Amino acid sequence: MTDLPTIEQLSKELAAGRTTSVQLTEAALARASDPQGEGAKTFVALSAERALAAARASDLLRTAGIVRSPLEGLPVSVKDLFDVAGEVTTAGSAVLRGGTPATHSAPVIERLVAAGAVIVGRTSMTEFAFSGLGLNPHYGTPKNPWDRATGRIPGGSSSGAAVSVADGMAVVGIGSDTGGSVRIPSALCGLTGFKPTQRRVPTEGALPLSTSLDSIGPLAASVHCCAIVDAILAGEAPLAPLPRSLAGARFAVPETVVFDGVDAVVAAAFEAACARLQSAGALITRLAIPEFSEMGRLHARGTLANAEAWAWHRTLLTERGAEYDPRVSGRIRAGEKMGAADYIDLIQARKRWITQVEARIAGFDALLLPTVPVIAPPIAELQSSDEAYAAANGLILRNPTLINFLDGCALSLPCHAKGEPPVGLMLAGAGGRDREILALGLATEQILLARH
């Protein structure tokens, strides 16, 4: 579990005059600039001057009694695929380095700024967001905060977003999630992350991986933090839902696929979390979901991400493919083999699959499963072997990807005991049930925290 300060705690400190936005921003920038830390690999660009100007403005507004949201004056990092006016969006690539600065900020950036967030910089990521591991040969890979001596992956693709929060370089990181890219680094780094229903948050101004699957969400210290930021990103009032009582809450634990290859650490943490929820009155049912085993057959001719990434990258790959990470370009090029009929068939199959899964889980309040079936593997092992990289990537993406394909919403929150390797517990639901999942997550978090 995390001891990081929450939005709520820092907002109270600011309101009481015990700190200022400038002080919080200076501290975040100092951590990001520390040569002994992970900042150089966590950020592709820091916006120190702009951030300090925003912090001074926030402090001035506060003296006039103006507080725009609970995020007022707090340092926030943004993944390097969001357009920020005047900055180059490189999406973790060498190909786009030196490109034309954005003329307009993405809607999510505008909403953060309007809420008083202080954007400290652009965080590193897997190139073009196409991997769940977080390795980047162009900008380097920030180390997971757990077991720095070994040097383990942070998870991806929102790798820098997670490390920026875990190391106190930001209070919140904004990431994208196409197949788990918010939830995976949250789980592996001991943070809380939320993937909303795709249609909930606008994706304009974000460099796409898969237009069918991309969604935008926060990585932070708590469920409450995620709920506040999710509301801001969605253009709603910045309020968290009330925690829902776990007494009588109905959870389904899928027995199909999601526990294949699970390691002993994750299995033990997950079962301990389930036991605690049951002791709080939750009703947990082990449920076969045969549709989960159909993913391989449905994607035999390729994935939506393959096809849609190829559509965006095909010209750039033809002209400058040698500058890509080959582990990324190879996955994108797989989309070239999909015909239009294959793509249309997959879209139609997905619609049927969603209908079947939604019917199967309709009697439950949420699915409950391990976010990632293994703890974070060492970076060196995956850098040195394409086979190990591919195997780890497939395994780590598997569980979160099911919820993206469902067009659902999901929350990952830490369920490990203090001192143990980080493990994520995922609460997931059908599309449109975002606030219900967050309300259940708030109650679940309270039960898990009581373990400590």
Distance CA 124, CA 136 (A): 8
Provide the 10 A C-beta neighbour count for residue 380: 11
Distance CA 44, CA 273 (A): 37
Phi and psi at residue 412, to the nearest 5°: -110, 125
Q: Which fold has domain 7-233?
A: Amidase signature (AS) enzymes (3.90.1300)
At 172, which helix (H) or strand (E)?
strand 172-177
pLDDT of residue 1: 47
Mean predicted confidence (pLDDT) in 256-266: 98
- Centroid of chain to Cα 298: 25
What is this structure's pTM? 0.98
Mean predicted confidence (pLDDT) in 96-101: 95
Residue whose entry in the numeric block shows the structure tokens 């990324």: 328
Q: Going by C-beta distance under 8 Å and a sequence separation of 6 or more, which residues neighbour residue 314?
A: 336
Query: Does residue 255 contact residue 286 with C-beta atoms inside 8 Å?
Result: yes
DSSP state, residue 248: T
Distance CA 8, CA 446 (A): 15
- Examine residue 181 and say whether the peptide bond preceding it is cis (omega within 30 degrees of 0): no
Question: Hey, where are the domains in the chain?
Answer: 7-233, 250-449
Mean predicted confidence (pLDDT) in 277-296: 98
pLDDT of residue 450: 80
Which CATH number applies to 250-449?
Answer: 3.90.1300.10
Q: Give tens-digit pLDDT for 152-201.
A: 999 999 999 999 999 999 999 999 999 999 999 999 999 999 999 999 99
The answer to whether the 7-233 and 250-449 domains have the same CATH topology is yes
E strands, 47-124, in order: 75-79, 118-123
Mean predicted confidence (pLDDT) in 356-384: 98
Q: What is the share, in percent, of the chain residues with pLDDT greater than 70?
A: 99
Q: Give tens-digit pLDDT for 110-129.
A: 999 999 999 999 999 999 99
Distance CA 173, CA 166 (A): 10
Q: Which of 108, 119, 193, 93 is nearest to 437 (CA)?
A: 193
- Centroid of chain to Cα 427: 14
Q: Give tens-digit pLDDT for 311-356.
A: 999 999 999 999 999 999 999 999 999 999 999 999 999 999 999 9
∠ at Cα 376 (194, 201), nearest 5°? 15
pLDDT of residue 262: 98
Mean predicted confidence (pLDDT) in 9-18: 98
Give Cα separations from 145 to 149, 182, 355, 400, 419 (angstroms).
10, 16, 40, 22, 12
pLDDT of residue 355: 98
Q: Report helix, strand or coil for 79.
A: strand
Q: Give tens-digit pLDDT for 396-417.
A: 999 999 999 999 999 999 999 9
Catalytic residues: 79, 157, 181
Distance CA 218, CA 125 (A): 15
Assign 451 a pLDDT band (cuts: 50, 70, 90).
low
Q: Give tens-digit pLDDT for 136-149.
A: 999 999 999 999 99
Q: Report helix, strand or coil for 300.
A: coil
Distance CA 108, CA 268 (A): 38
Overall size of the chain counted in residues: 452
